[in-house]
Amino acid sequence: MSGHLPVMLTEVLEALAPRDGAQYVDGTFGGGGYTRAILEAADCRVLGIDRDPDAIARGQALVDQFAGRLTLVQGEFSNMDQFTDASDGVVLDLGVSSFQFDQPARGFSFREDGPLDMRMSLSGESAADFVNTTDERTLSLTISRYGEEKNARRIARAIIAARPVTGTAQLAAIVSQAQGPAALRHPIHPATRTFQALRIHVNDELGELERGLDAALKILKPEGRLVVVSFHSLEDRMVKRFLSERSTSAPRASRHAPSGTPARAASFQLLTTRPRIASAEELSTNPRARSAKLRAGLKLAA
């Protein structure tokens, strides 16, 4: 597991509060950093889920080390309710794992050239498939929505003109040129938002998060804890809205609903009224934590 630094590990453990005899779900197993810390913090059990088969293969060493206490499943965390029906805590670390980002062959990064892949599960439509077959309007909307990129239309037009696009370095060069020389003086690489947008689209990350939050609510026991670490504003807004809307009793969904329809009872007590961020000490050793935000909630009794 070397080379992987779990983000905000101290804060995650404080929010999750592992205890003896409990059962936890690490829905984004990745390098196993959270899982290892949970298992070392208490005599408990963990179900680790990851859609990346490479992550599951790497994790077998932890399965052996914590014999009988760790179970790994290859799948999507949005389906966690199919793998277990009860949990004392769920933790999600959203986005790309360090292992995925650091392997050029996976196509998540433009730091080194590699195939334009970006598939976390190694199956389905790749980023290359998408950029080489979609129309300009769809590509532009994807880059604008998921990358929050103001030059999305110009970038989409440049990608379409350069097709076929098959490598990460090729795509980064196309996007950089489309952005113009002024973008090169910005501290963030001109292609960063476009790569983010394509990755989110290819892996349906926002849909996965929406379904995963609902699944977590379903399996959490009363007083179970949900802890989510996100890395960009789209994810953080979804988590914030999910917890906020379920932390107070809500009125009927529609004024057209029957008059006898009950209000929705609160499902969570907020453990974080504002998102927690990484400490200055962590930022000095783990730059990946600079955009991380942690939100958490405590499941209330029905």
Tokens of 112: 């080194």
CATH 1.10.150.170 fits 122-202, yes or no: yes
pLDDT of residue 288: 84
- Per the model's pLDDT, the better-predicted residue between 210 and 3 turns out to be 210
**CATH for 9-99+206-299 (3.30.565.10, 1.10.3720.10, 3.40.50.150, 3.20.20.100):** 3.40.50.150
Number of helical H runs and strand E runs in the chain: 15, 7
Provide the pLDDT confidence category of residue 287 given band limits of 50, 70 and 90.
confident
Provide the pLDDT confidence category of residue 96 given band limits of 50, 70 and 90.
confident
Helices 168-179 and 192-202, packing angle to 10 deg = 130
Please report, in angstroms and rounded to a whole number, the separation of the first and last CA atoms in the chain. 39
pLDDT of residue 94: 94
pLDDT of residue 252: 45
Model confidence at 2: pLDDT above 50: no
pLDDT of residue 261: 47
User: Could you tell me which residues are beta bridge partners of residue 72?
Assistant: 48
Strands 220-230 and 293-299: antiparallel
User: Could you tell me which residues are beta bridge partners of residue 71?
Assistant: 47
Q: Where are the domains of the chain?
A: 9-99+206-299, 122-202
Model confidence at 77: pLDDT above 80: yes
Quote the CA–CA distance of 121 and 144 in Å, as a whole number.
24
Model confidence at 257: pLDDT above 70: no
Is 223 strand, coil or helix?
Answer: strand
